[in-house]
Amino acid sequence: MALPTSKNRNLNSTEFYLPYDSHLVARAKSLRKNLTPAEKKLWLDYLRTFKFRILRQRPIAYFIVDFYCAALKSVIEVDGDSHFTD
């Protein structure tokens, strides 16, 4: 499946388009409701009141990123206990 490109879009705006796989939307919604302890702490203690808008569990291309800020064009990935398995 080919993803749309961001050609002819203003990437300096916070409203620019990021391609995403529509099949990930339901999974992202589920992840928003079930944050890991590390994500929850970061969200509640800092990012919820950050001066720029932060989106949680945002599909981008074929991935779901933990936190995304369009104004800063930044992604935050939180690696916590969920990545450690036997």
Q: What distance in Å separates the CA atoms of residue 8 and residue 6, rounded to the nearest whole number?
A: 6
| pLDDT for position 42 | 97
pLDDT at 86 over 70: no
| Distant-in-sequence contacts of 37-40, Cβ < 8 A, 24+ apart | 37/80, 37/81, 38/78, 38/79, 38/80, 38/81, 39/66, 39/67, 39/78, 39/80
| pLDDT for position 17 | 75
The whole model's pTM is what? 0.74
Residues 6+ apart with CB under 8 A from 9: 16, 17
| pLDDT for position 16 | 64
Q: What distance in Å separates the CA atoms of residue 36 and residue 78, rounded to the nearest whole number?
A: 9
Kindly state the percentage of the chain with pLDDT values over 70.
73
